[in-house]
């Protein structure tokens, strides 16, 4: 179990690194999908409840993602109004 959660946490820190390098909305969307999938996987793995450090790490990555989305150029809505 310890080994598995370590692998999952490694994937989470990989996402953290890639958020820093992310430069486009497309890349961001891929990372967000990865984060969602990983979060689901971790929640499924720790079905009895998330350990506090894992919860903190997930929230931290989420905060990075939100911050990054805000830093990227505003989304173009022109096609949305067509």
**How many whole angstroms separate alpha carbon 46 and alpha carbon 60?**
18
**How many whole angstroms separate alpha carbon 21 and alpha carbon 45?**
29
Which of these segments, 5-13, 15-23, 35-43, binds other proteins (CB under 8 A)?
A: 35-43
Question: Which of 13, 14, 24, 43: binder of other proteins (CB under 8 A)?
Answer: 43
Question: Which of 13, 23, 24, 33: binder of other proteins (CB under 8 A)?
Answer: 33
Residue 30 CB, nearest approach to other proteins (Å):
10
Q: Among 61, 39, 60, which Cα is nearest to 50's?
A: 39
């Amino acid at each position: 179990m310890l080994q598995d959660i370590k692998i999952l946490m490694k994937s989470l820190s990989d996402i953290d690194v890639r958020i820093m390098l992310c430069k486009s909305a497309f890349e961001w969307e891929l990372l967000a999908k990865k984060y969602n999938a990983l979060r689901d996987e971790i929640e499924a793995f720790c079905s009895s409840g998330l350990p506090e450090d894992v919860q903190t790490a997930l929230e931290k990555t989420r905060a990075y993602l939100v911050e990054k989305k805000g830093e990227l150029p505003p989304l173009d809505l022109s096609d949305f109004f067509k």
